[in-house]
């Protein structure tokens, strides 16, 4: 019986049971993909992160992420969680850790009492043709529809409309693996912008706090508000607060990580 360490933490969280929970599994070498996917399904969190030591110069670890149903190419909160486990639990020396991923090099650094993750900026473009399942899924007419990679972006006028949104998840499930970000000015929430994120086609009905979505949101709001540093709030039931900064073709997402659980997985 092989035993694998597992850590569960809440990323972008102000307190325990807030933010976005992620599982982190350090490995000595890669397990078969079917095993990685089975572990993620068993954990039943929005993301389980796996990393192995890297032999590539300038890279500390190779990092992959799995939802309960699929491997994904970019994930912010589980990267922040992995950095926390390495820097604050496993005793990695220094204040910085680098990961090679499907989306290139990602970096996690200490940022005072918080951590920050450096990720690619993914500016959205106007959506020329809105799929029927997308408009049905949102259930109302936004100010604008945009798209960036595998994510649609709906811009609403009021933060309260984002909070009250009850999308048609069955329609969104038919969007061929794409997710839907919904955003609005921060208004009474006292932040620059708010958001929610839905991606049932990837096995996640609503993600509590989504780093990848903010790779799209930060360049959008930076251009709209004419500022590079912004505070963001993802207003899911758990909520998560992010300190964001646009750095040219990169974004920096800062937040706190709260540890929850550590243990072992027994693999036959």
- Tell me the catalytic residues: 47
| Residues 139, 231 contacting (CB under 8 angstroms) | no
DSSP labels, 70-112: -EES--SHHHHHHHHIIIIIS--SSSEEEEEETTEEEEEEEET
241/14 Cα distance (integer angstroms): 7
Q: What's the rounded Cα separation, in Å, for the pair 30 and 135? A: 40
* Distance from C-alpha of 265 to C-alpha of 268, rounded to nearest angstrom: 10
Residue 217 three-state SS: helix
Give residues with Cβ within 8 angstroms of 109, minimum separation 6. Answer: 83, 95, 96, 97, 115, 116, 118
CA distance 136 to 260: 37
DSSP state of 188: G
Query: In terms of residues, how long is the chain?
Result: 268
């Amino acid at each position: 019986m092989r035993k694998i360490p597992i850590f569960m933490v809440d990323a972008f969280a102000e307190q325990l049971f807030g933010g976005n929970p992620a599982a982190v599994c350090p490995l000595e070498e890669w397990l078969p993909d079917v095993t990685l996917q089975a572990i993620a399904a068993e954990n039943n969190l929005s993301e389980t992160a796996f990393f192995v030591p890297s032999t590539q110069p300038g890279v500390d670890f190779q990092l992959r992420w799995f939802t309960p149903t699929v491997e994904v190419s970019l994930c912010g909160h589980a990267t922040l969680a992995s950095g926390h486990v390495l820097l604050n639990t496993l005793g990695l020396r220094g204040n910085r850790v680098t990961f090679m991923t499907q989306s290139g090099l990602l970096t996690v650094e200490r940022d005072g009492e918080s951590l920050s993750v450096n990720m690619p900026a993914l500016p959205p473009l106007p959506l020329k043709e809105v799929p029927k399942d997308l408009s049905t899924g949102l259930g109302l007419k936004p100010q604008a529809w945009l798209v960036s990679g595998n994510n649609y972006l709906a811009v609403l006028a009021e933060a309260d409309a984002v909070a009250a949104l009850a999308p048609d998840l069955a329609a969104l499930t038919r969007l061929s693996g794409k997710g839907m970000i919904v955003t609005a000015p921060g208004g009474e929430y006292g932040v620059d912008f708010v958001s929610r994120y839905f991606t049932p086609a990837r096995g996640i009905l609503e993600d509590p706090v989504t780093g990848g979505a903010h790779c799209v949101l930060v360049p959008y709001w930076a251009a709209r508000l004419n500022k590079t540093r912004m505070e963001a709030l993802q207003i899911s039931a758990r909520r998560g607060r992010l300190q964001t900064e646009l750095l040219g073709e990169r974004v920096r997402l800062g937040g706190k990580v709260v540890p929850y659980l550590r243990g072992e997985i027994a693999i036959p």
